[in-house]
Chain A
């Protein structure tokens, strides 16, 4: 079978959940082969993790020449790897976790390889002529089925698009030496400041998201307290971010993060199209809002017309009581 390249999502060698989701998808399409951009010393540890989800090969690409520059070097390295693999066992697809950066890598790679590109898939299945993707578009109002018709399909896949399934893979480590050109190293990362961890689940990966909007009036304590009581990630509407109440990294919506959790709890959020675009595909939607006319109530499975500043703290107490 042909290989399916899966670009590993990790922070300093700590592999993140979307990687396992992609490996699970890759198995439907061919032989999963993981690609690790990072320090070669971490290669073996990473291989141990990904082989438990079916990675037959783990290509370790030393990112010393790559990590200091935006996007272009990674696309170059993937092009060289893809060309090597194509000449060997063949290449069925290239899957990347759908982040802004990976989408840009995928875009450049598509041009380099002469391959079609599909972004932000929420599902990928094997079809007769190659992978068939599902995307959620127009603020979640439509789903679209598509396939790549030229070259090696390059697909970026959103988090939570598959339930990770364990499967023993060989996990054989292969170092891949990429040659990075000078022209790919022209947008330099001059400084990086990691964001402080909140200790809460990652917004795009969380099973439950509790978010707040204009109705918080800038006080996110009730939202955060309730989120912590049910082990949720915290999100915010654009109005809350624009007001400076929450950093942009927490924004759910068209220009922030798109989430698709099991449960989404919107508090003091009216439900403007910009926000709906980021959360409409959540499995269960709950809202707390003072305004009974708020459009968010059109989407909910359950809604409370009331003030989040009284409802959420009381609900937090009740959750704690139940949990004993």
Chain B
């Protein structure tokens, strides 16, 4: 069995994230890293393998992105994935969800032909675009069941059951492999790479695919053919400094209530 885990290289959320002049996300001027929410996906892929002792299971980390995006795959390899695939092609820059999911799906199909893809694992969202739509789009394109936003994952044979928190309820979802699975940050803390893991990662296979390797026409992807277009971006003006009072002998509560009353909240 082979598990493909999709990982995204994103600008650090704690840095000052910016846009380029063409309104694409600045992925060069801001330090990047493996999206925190994809660390949970890598973790669950590894746990899936570890729980099924005695079975031969490999984990392939897959990313689509610019040159530096390979760091996301490297991190996954350091955590314990067995091999990596980086889809790198200048034409991909500026792709929307539609094109990104197309490239990912084609890459997964290629991995499937070579090593198999019995389980595709994604994070619940990226920390930059935060759309949460790519896992569902992958399921649509690959014709696999979509089992998304899992907080608990159990499997036996080819059966997978997950628990998830929906808007107003907790649900149990069942499906038969192969599936596309997405996991939330409630699924369990992601492991840190060990020193041994970091050293071992250097020797693990890491392949680079171009669009032509995947049979995707360059005219199908990228900013110029995106099905949605950003017309403008505006930095939110910094909030003007508010009034801060220090609570002394109960003065804080009075000041708080006075403020709320002055704004007609009470």
Question: Which single member of B186, B245, B253 contacts A303 (CB below 8 Å)?
Answer: B245
From DSSP, what is the main secondary structure of chain A's interface residues?
Answer: mixed
Question: Which single member of A103, A149, A238, A315 contacts B256 (CB below 8 Å)?
Answer: A315
The residues of A that contact B166 with a CB separation of less than 8 Å are 100-101, 192
Question: Which single member of A110, A311, A323 contacts B252 (CB below 8 Å)?
Answer: A311
User: Which residues of B in the span 188-240 have a Cβ within 8 Å of any Cβ on A?
Assistant: 226-236, 239
Contacts A111-B140, A142-B234; A116 near B227 (Cβ below 8 A): yes
Q: Which residue on A lies nearest to B184, using beta carbons? A: A255
Contacts A186-B176, A263-B260, A285-B239; A108 near B137 (Cβ below 8 A): yes
The residues of B that contact A194 with a CB separation of less than 8 Å are 168-169
Least CB distance, B57 to chain A, in whole angstroms = 22
Contacts A103-B132, A118-B228; A304 near B140 (Cβ below 8 A): no
B234-266 vs A: 1/0 string, CB under 8 Å?
A: 111001011111110010111111011101011
Question: Which single member of B125, B134, B148 contacts A71 (CB below 8 Å)?
Answer: B148
Please classify how large the interface on chain B is, using the bins under 10, 10 to 19, 20 to 34, 35 or more: 35 or more
Interface flag for A307 (CB, 8 Å) = yes
Question: Number of A residues contacting the other chain (C-beta, 8 Å)?
Answer: 92
Contacts A195-B169, A304-B255; A108 near B246 (Cβ below 8 A): no
The residues of A that contact B263 with a CB separation of less than 8 Å are 263, 284
Complex formed: what's the CA distance from A303 to B228 in Å? 40
Listed by A's residue number, 16 A-B pairs whose Cβ atoms lie within 8 Å are A100-B149, A103-B136, A104-B146, A111-B141, A117-B97, A146-B229, A148-B227, A149-B226, A187-B175, A191-B171, A254-B13, A255-B125, A285-B242, A301-B259, A305-B245, A315-B252
Binding site for A on B (CB under 8 A): 13-14, 17, 19, 23, 37, 96-98, 101, 124-125, 127-137, 139-141, 143-149, 151, 161, 165-176, 179, 184-186, 226-236, 239, 241-247, 250, 252-257, 259-261, 263, 265-266
